[in-house]
Amino acid sequence: MIRTLMHCTAPVRATISLRSLRWAHSAPPLPCQPVPDLRKTLTRYLRSLQPLVDDDELESTRELVGDFLRPGGQGEELQRQLHKRAERTDNWLTDWRQECIYLENHLPLPVHSSPAVILPPQEYKDWRGQLRFASKLICGVLDFKAKIESPGGLEELWRGQRLCPDQYYKFFGSCREPGTKRDRVLLHPRSKSHHVTVCKNYQLEGPGLLPPRTPLTRVPSPRKLYFNFPPEIKQHIEQAKQNLDILVSDLDICCFSFPDFGKKFPQRYNMSPGTFLQTCLQLAYYRLHGSLCATNEGVSLRAYHRGRSDVVRCSSPEALEFVQAADDPQKLAEEKLSLLVRAVESQQEATEQVLEGQSVDGAILALRMLCLSSGMALPALFMDTSYAVSSHWKLFTGQVSSPLDCVMCYGPLVPDGYSVCFAPTQDSITVCVSAFHCCEETDAERLSDSLQGALRDVHSLLRSSRSEED
């Protein structure tokens, strides 16, 4: 048996190919991403600070927000510039997010940026079976690449969904060039952006994934390639290998499958599975660390022209109220249930706002980039302690569903943080939690255990409420 690890290098800045432009021209136009209302954005920003900073810090930030929003002030001018940018660009946010997240981030792509996908275990008798599976897997990836590059291929893949195709055209053939003060991105047909590792026998159980046998086709015998590197380059390669080994060894990954229930359970109570899981995660973190932390959940904005992604702020005042009450023996089950519902509804509202283009962090990033590009002084609002705390993402989360029994994993965004990826099905939930060994404050296995306990406790709370109604 094997477990397959597919390692995907995150696509970065690239130009749209001619085929992309032709597809976009013939497809129904997608709406442009709206510019968020500045006052509403900062009101939501202040709400997101409530569970993270003390009252004095919050009051200080409120004063900074008031000064920033005063008539004729810096906020008004920056908002005017942002509207002008939106009028003259395809998407006012995407290029800046790519630049800040991928191009200006000089940390190694593995762990820090690139996700990995662990596919289901496979069975084979010898190395030939392992090689056969690896070949078929590579063929499948190349078939996907061919669909992307063929006219109408994306329409077939999407089955009628109206999503922006821009990211797909960057999915293959993009890489970040290191060694420069400001990274460049090369587009080259031989650039490699995907790595597939087919491992040896693991003592795991699971369904087979090999497709049916196909007729054999004679192909030329492989030819071994020899590379002649000068000693200096060999030294750099060896140093890079050692650094990568250290980084990988420091990453603590804990994956588990939670069998008690899946997406169907919260849906019975009119709760979105994603926001339900996020609320349970907040409870798990609070039980482990005694407080909430800055948490983001990545969401897709591909419903907009050239939309890419943004983040939802998940640590809300409602979440704090619920997690504080959950283990309080003085609180009745009815009150705990009410607070749970409020926390889930608050999370759902925050998610919908981002999906509608009303992101707090996207807007703040745009205002900061406008200051940098125009030479304006950075507002004090974005240099105070509250902003630093609220953007130090100790919980980096996401939800990636798949019809296959697989799970995505990635590293934390900060040294003292976690990443948590959910892959829910109808009747179970697969979760991958990661942290760094070098941080004594975090522990992937302990958070995994706490999360499973939180899922079971919230499940019991909801079931008891239904029993009382019956």
CATH of the domain at 342: 3.30.559.10
User: Quick one: 101 and 86 in the same domain?
Assistant: no
Quote the pTM value.
0.86
Each of the 470 residues of the chain gets a pLDDT tens digit; together they read 333 444 443 333 333 333 333 334 345 578 999 999 999 999 999 999 999 999 999 999 999 999 999 999 999 999 999 999 999 999 999 999 988 887 777 888 889 888 888 887 778 888 888 888 888 888 888 888 888 888 777 766 666 677 888 877 777 767 776 665 447 444 333 334 566 777 765 533 333 344 445 556 677 887 888 989 999 999 999 999 999 999 999 999 999 999 999 999 999 999 999 999 999 999 999 999 999 999 999 999 999 999 999 999 999 999 999 999 999 999 999 999 999 999 999 999 999 999 999 999 999 999 999 999 989 999 999 999 999 999 999 999 999 887 777 788 899 999 999 999 999 999 999 999 999 999 999 999 999 999 999 999 999 999 987 665 54
Residues 86-92: contacts with CB within 8 Å, 24+ apart?
Answer: 86/32, 86/33, 86/35, 90/32, 90/305, 90/306, 91/32, 91/33, 91/304, 91/305, 91/306, 91/307, 91/308, 92/33, 92/35, 92/366
Q: Which of 37, 7, 51, 77 is nearest to 323 (CA)?
A: 51
Q: Considering 163, 180, 211, which residue would you say is the last residue of a domain?
A: 211
* pLDDT value, residue 205: 34
User: Quick one: 50 and 179 in the same domain?
Assistant: no
User: Quick one: 333 and 429 in the same domain?
Assistant: yes
Q: Does a structural domain hold residue 223?
A: no
User: Quick one: 361 and 441 in the same domain?
Assistant: yes
Q: Considering 162, 195, 211, which residue would you say is the last residue of a domain?
A: 211
Q: Considering 181, 211, 241, which residue would you say is the last residue of a domain?
A: 211
* pLDDT value, residue 271: 96
Q: Does a structural domain hold residue 229?
A: no
Q: Does a structural domain hold residue 230?
A: no
Q: What is the extent of the structural domain holding 70?
A: 39-91+251-469
- Residue 171, token pair as written in the block: 């999915």
User: Quick one: 279 and 423 in the same domain?
Assistant: yes
In sign, the C-alpha dihedral spanning 267, 272, 277, 283 is negative
Q: Does a structural domain hold residue 434?
A: yes
Q: Which of 226, 202, 165 is nearest to 14 (CA)?
A: 165
User: Quick one: 101 and 151 in the same domain?
Assistant: yes
- Residue 70, token pair as written in the block: 């005063």
Q: Does a structural domain hold residue 360?
A: yes
* pLDDT value, residue 165: 80
* pLDDT value, residue 148: 82
User: Quick one: 277 and 347 in the same domain?
Assistant: yes
Query: 319: part of which helix (H) or strand (E)?
Result: helix 317-326
Q: Does a structural domain hold residue 330?
A: yes
User: Quick one: 312 and 392 in the same domain?
Assistant: yes
Q: Does a structural domain hold residue 437?
A: yes
User: Quick one: 84 and 97 in the same domain?
Assistant: no
User: Quick one: 407 and 430 in the same domain?
Assistant: yes
SS3 (DSSP) at 407: strand
User: Quick one: 83 and 19 in the same domain?
Assistant: no
Taking the C-alpha atoms of residue 283 and residue 295, their distance in angstroms, rounded to an integer, is 12
- Report which DSSP code applies to 381: G
Q: Does a structural domain hold residue 218?
A: no
Structurally, the chain folds into a number of domains equal to: 2
* pLDDT value, residue 109: 84
User: Quick one: 22 and 54 in the same domain?
Assistant: no
Write the CB contacts of 389 (distance below 8 Å, at least 6 apart in sequence): 49, 52, 53, 294
Beta bridge partners of 409: 116
Beta bridge partners of 114: 110
* pLDDT value, residue 131: 87
What single-letter amino acid sits at 97? R
* pLDDT value, residue 254: 95
